[in-house]
Amino acid sequence: MIKMIKRLGDYLKADTQNSSLIILADERPKFVYFGKRIGDSDDYGFSGIKSPRGFSSADDVDNSPCLVSSSGDGHSRENMIRVVTSDGSAVLRLRLEDVSILDGKPAIDGMPSSYEAKECVVFKYYDAASSVALEQYFAVFDDSDVIATSVRLINRGKEDVKIKRLFSLQLDLPDGDYEMLTLEGASCRERIPKIKTLNGGTYLNASYSGLSSNSSNPFVALTKKGPNGFCVESNLVYSGNHKETVECGNLGGVRLLSGINDYLLDYTVKAGESFCAPEAIFTVADDIDGASRAMRDFVDKHIISERMRRRERPIVVNTWETFLFDFDEKKLSALCDKAAELGIEMFILDDGWFGKRNDDSSSLGDWYENVGKLGCSLKEFGDKIRAKGLGFGIWVEPEMISADSDLFRTHPEFAMTIDGVKPMEIRRQLCLDTTKREVRDYIVDAISCVISKSGADYVKWDCNRSVQELKNSGSLFHSFTLGLYDMLKRITDRFPDLIIESCASGGNRFDLGMLCFTPQIWTSDNVDPRYRTAIQEGTLYAYPQISMGTHVGHIPDWHTFNGTSYDNAFSVAALGSFGYEFNLTELSDKDTEIVREQIAFYKKWRGVLQFGTLTVNERVAERGISCYTVADEKCEKAVATVIVTQSVFNRDYPKIYIKGLNADYIYKVGFRQQTEVDGKTTFTASGDALACVGVSLGDMFSEGAVGKNYNSIQTRMMTFEKI
Ligand code: GLA
């Protein structure tokens, strides 16, 4: 069997499908190379790696690109590890003790991580003065270009040590001109790509709320421009506070660090115990599109759990933007009938079905049905939905409690509060103290009971506030995240076929940790197709389309008040785990037929739309046009979506260059029928002609269609079938 990780003299070489990582295994192991896949050599000494690199000041020692760095070890810059021993010393001088290569890779205590690794290399370090040891893993996968890394710190001494920082990844990249892309935003504008040209100094990407956050996603892309350019991307398998620093070294080069945020971190590791940092993943490619393709593919194959991998997702209707809290048996029943008649496959009962919850002021924690609103028990309600041919899904917010709830009245100690401090309510709710085992037991039992009683096939797991009651502050944020993973693990083990869509006020916790348990995530509460185009484009830099919950919502949109056609809304929502979220019973006859046709189209092309390999033809940030192709494995079937967000007058029609097809195949090209568009319908073309000659937008949109669309968004979906 061909080994992916080899020893070559003093070096370790890990090959992925298209990249090589070379490490010098001396007493302070160093990165020699990370880039395009290359052949083997016995010695890479010619790279200069064996000569100590530069001195940034008289006080610094070797600044070579080490795999780890720590305080008090000669590097006066941002470093990866900070540990304080019982005598107050922050000196940690880790030196290599041993290197080994293993088949597969070990699990990480209490945390989710990628699976089906082929091999991993383990570097074991030790610092005799502090008795601190460190294990560092780099794992490769035989069908991917992504490398997974993690570290475990072990206290081999007799006294406690305190972790003040333990990042998961340190990557020192060579000198050059870099551009950094991060995914930033807020509620309703999550993961908007932000590009910064690195120009000295240190750049920060971090969250502080207890969640991975909508303000800064843990994903980072670093593109080195010019000759010998490349793009390195990293992400973290973690759902709590994270921190990435990108530091332009004063000697040149760029250092990327990524891991748990050290904000307030002060974690005690007792004698003989250890602490695991979450897994980080990273990849390299010629450009950002190549690196992002590798990331999406990896998430699809090695992060989304095996039991949910490539599992087709149903078309849903969700009651939130349909009724908010204002529903009764009659309204729900009418919506369900209409959904069944249209061919929708699952009915999701969102917030408002439990306790006495008619607004957001009460009942979180009281996970039993409001019979008055449902008209029957939860079990009967689930049965009724199934009798109409639909699957049943239900909304819960397990980590939270309302002060006005039976749970709070009976167990006030379950809430995360601090004696003598008035609890801070956010969205009129408190966090449960999920760092306590008895609280998690209660939640797991209560949520399991909801799932069993209702026979739910799907759960929307929401989380609508940040963590602010900072007791046990040194460990609180991390323990809150571990508590979440413990509950998700227990529930997914108990209900292996359950689809969980996680959500956090929209996409406030869209990360790889969640994706290990919940194969899809509600992307954003903003479903305005114009804005969603940017949100989804940002998300797709790091995550595959199947992970995104994408719905056609109310028109005009409830958040932005923009209006458009149902067809345009569909084109944007069709790329993902799709559904509807507005009152379908109020559709006109004409719009009913439009929606019926959309559902039939989605079902026909579902495999490609949900799991097809995605190629970016153009991004909206460039000239107001977004265009993606998704193609099946053999490139025999594909769909391309074109979204134009800016009408331009008095100019030649722009052309769209459709990539991601097989250059040598001849395709029958079709356009999805859209009522307001009377452009071209079908033609035949080769894959290379579509990519090189391009397709004129002039043939796609008639002038009339432009006039009828508010806010000048126009869309078309093209289909490709190999002849
Ligand atoms: C959050 C979610 C919404 C909806 C509401 C219900 O805001 O993002 O989609 O589920 O909660 O309260």
Pocket test for ligand 1, best of 505, 509, 550 (most atoms within 8 A of CB): 505
Q: Identify the DSSP state of 362.
A: B
432 closest CA partner among 443, 422, 421: 443
Ligand 1 binding pocket includes 321 (Cβ within 6 Å) = no
Write out the two tokens for 593: 């037929």
344 closest CA partner among 584, 526, 554: 584
Helix axes 378-387, 437-454, angle to 10 degrees: 40
| Protein residue with its CA nearest to atom 7 in ligand 1 | 505
Classify residue 547 by burial, with Cβ atoms within 10 Å: 0-12, 13-18, 19+. Answer: buried
Residue 605 CA, ligand 1 centroid: distance in Å? 29
Q: Which residues contact 647 (CB under 8 A, 6 or more apart)?
A: 706, 712, 714
3-state secondary structure (DSSP) of residue 477: helix
Share of the chain above pLDDT 70, in %: 96
Which residues carry out catalysis? 462, 525
Average pLDDT over residues 288-317: 98
Confidence of residue 708 (pLDDT cuts 50, 70, 90): low
Ligand 1 binding pocket includes 505 (Cβ within 6 Å) = yes
Residue 52 CA, ligand 1 centroid: distance in Å? 54
* pLDDT tens digit sequence for 69-96: 999 998 888 999 999 999 999 999 999 9
3-state secondary structure (DSSP) of residue 656: strand
pLDDT at 706: 52
Residue 396 CA, ligand 1 centroid: distance in Å? 10
3-state secondary structure (DSSP) of residue 504: strand
Ligand 1 binding pocket includes 320 (Cβ within 6 Å) = yes
Residue pair 293/283 in contact (Cβ under 8 Å)? The answer is no
Nearest atom, ligand 1, residue 504 CA: 8
User: What residue type is assigned to position 476 of the chain?
Assistant: L
* pLDDT tens digit sequence for 473-500: 899 999 999 999 999 999 999 999 999 9
Average pLDDT over residues 614-639: 95
E strands within 301-356?
316-318, 346-349
pLDDT at 59: 65
* pLDDT tens digit sequence for 123-173: 999 999 999 999 999 999 999 999 999 999 999 999 999 999 999 999 999
> How far is Cα 138 from Cα 651, in angstroms, rounded to an integer?
52
Confidence of residue 649 (pLDDT cuts 50, 70, 90): low
**What sign has the CA pseudo-torsion 676, 575, 495, 395?**
negative
153 closest CA partner among 277, 6, 256: 277
Ligand 1 binding pocket includes 503 (Cβ within 6 Å) = yes
* pLDDT tens digit sequence for 353-376: 999 999 999 999 999 999 999 999
Q: Which residues contact 707 (CB under 8 A, 6 or more apart)?
A: none
pLDDT at 650: 59
**Does residue 20 carry a pLDDT above 70?**
yes
Residue 541 CA, ligand 1 centroid: distance in Å? 25
pLDDT at 153: 98
Q: How long, in residues, is the chain?
A: 723
Confidence of residue 714 (pLDDT cuts 50, 70, 90): confident
| Protein residue with its CA nearest to atom 4 in ligand 1 | 320
Q: Which residues contact 46 (CB under 8 A, 6 or more apart)?
A: none
* pLDDT tens digit sequence for 442-474: 999 999 999 999 999 999 999 999 999 999 889
Fold adopted by 544-723: Immunoglobulin-like (2.60.40)
Confidence of residue 673 (pLDDT cuts 50, 70, 90): confident
> How far is Cα 153 from Cα 273, in angstroms, rounded to an integer?
9
Average pLDDT over residues 672-697: 85
Confidence of residue 58 (pLDDT cuts 50, 70, 90): low
Residue 461 CA, ligand 1 centroid: distance in Å? 10
132 closest CA partner among 61, 62, 70, 66: 70
Write out the two tokens for 642: 């074109």
| Protein residue with its CA nearest to atom 6 in ligand 1 | 351
Q: Identify the DSSP state of 302.
A: I
Confidence of residue 115 (pLDDT cuts 50, 70, 90): very high
pLDDT at 293: 98
> How far is Cα 667 from Cα 685, in angstroms, rounded to an integer?
5
Nearest atom, ligand 1, residue 503 CA: 8
Domain parsing of the chain, residue ranges: 64-302, 317-496, 544-723
Fold adopted by 64-302: Beta-galactosidase; Chain A, domain 5 (2.70.98)
**Does residue 721 carry a pLDDT above 80?**
yes
* pLDDT tens digit sequence for 209-244: 999 999 999 999 999 999 999 999 999 999 999 999
**Does residue 306 carry a pLDDT above 70?**
yes
299 against 644, higher pLDDT: 299
Residue 56 CA, ligand 1 centroid: distance in Å? 51
Residue pair 459/494 in contact (Cβ under 8 Å)? The answer is no
pLDDT at 699: 63
Average pLDDT over residues 425-449: 97
Write out the two tokens for 274: 């250890």
| Protein residue with its CA nearest to atom 2 in ligand 1 | 505
Average pLDDT over residues 522-530: 96
* pLDDT tens digit sequence for 554-601: 998 888 888 888 999 999 999 999 999 999 999 999 999 999 999 999
Fold adopted by 317-496: TIM Barrel (3.20.20)
Ligand 1 binding pocket includes 397 (Cβ within 6 Å) = no
